[in-house]
Amino acid sequence: MELSVIKHSGEDTGRKVNLSDTVFAIEPNDHAIYLDVKRYLANQRQGTHKSKERSEISGSTRKIKRQKGTGTARAGSIKSPVFRGGGRVFGPRPRNYGIKLNKKLKVLARKSALGYKAKDNCISVLEAFTFEAPKTKEYLKMLEALSMTDKKTLLVLPEANKNIAFSGRNLKKTKVTTADQLNTYDVLHADNLLLIESSIEKIENILS
């Protein structure tokens, strides 16, 4: 697949770049995508939820009323779950929600997601650029030049660049990542992928 390389100002450089068919043109595997997205979302959960059960509630352990003759059910402790302020029955405990997948399956899922974007013509290749300082206005100018102000965009850099990352992090529909941090969820969540020209080779090396 061949795409034109454009500047971040929207001008055409006159150059073209080839995207590898083994990465951007495979037959998508929907089940692999489902599993990888499920893994990503599960791994985002902190799992720090906790409620106190009856053994953890602070309170007196004396029997609160006599066993018989009250006309109501017997009760042995104020910490019983049937009373207000008592412990919770089978409450949530801290746990790890993480899911593990084989490396080959994760690679297949990312290739499938990239394949969908390539098939829908939602990939743009940008010439390498940088900002002198973190400026959200500069990032907005770039999106306006590319006619993508109303779309969700994912900018993929070959390596971390603080000025670009800080420029785009306050914008609601934009995300900046690096080639080695690219994941299936982010690719599918974005309407358009903005790939820096030098990041393509890194992506292909990682997924080959």
Ordered mean pLDDT values, 10 residues apiece, the chain (208 residues): 88 89 92 97 95 92 92 92 93 94 95 94 92 93 92 94 93 93 95 93 92
Measured CA to CA, the distance from residue 60 to residue 43 in angstroms comes to 40
Ordered domains of the chain (ranges, CATH): 2-46+102-207 (3.40.1370.10), 51-91 (no CATH)
If we measure between CA atoms, which residue out of 10, 4, 26 comes closest to residue 118?
A: 26
Alpha-helical regions (H) of 85-147: 103-119, 136-145
Classified as helix, coil or strand, 46 is coil
Long-range contacts of 173-180 (CB under 8 A, 24+ apart): 174/139, 174/143, 179/203, 179/206, 180/206
From first CA to last CA, the distance across the chain in angstroms is 16
Structure tokens belonging to residue 47: 């799992």
Give the pLDDT score at 14: 87
Taking CA atoms, 144 is separated from 72, 137, 147, 176, 191, in Å, by 73, 10, 5, 17, 15
Q: Are 186 and 165 in contact (CB under 8 A)?
A: no
Give the pLDDT score at 125: 93
Measured CA to CA, the distance from residue 31 to residue 49 in angstroms comes to 30
pTM (predicted TM-score): 0.83
Measured CA to CA, the distance from residue 81 to residue 144 in angstroms comes to 59
The DSSP call for residue 172 is T
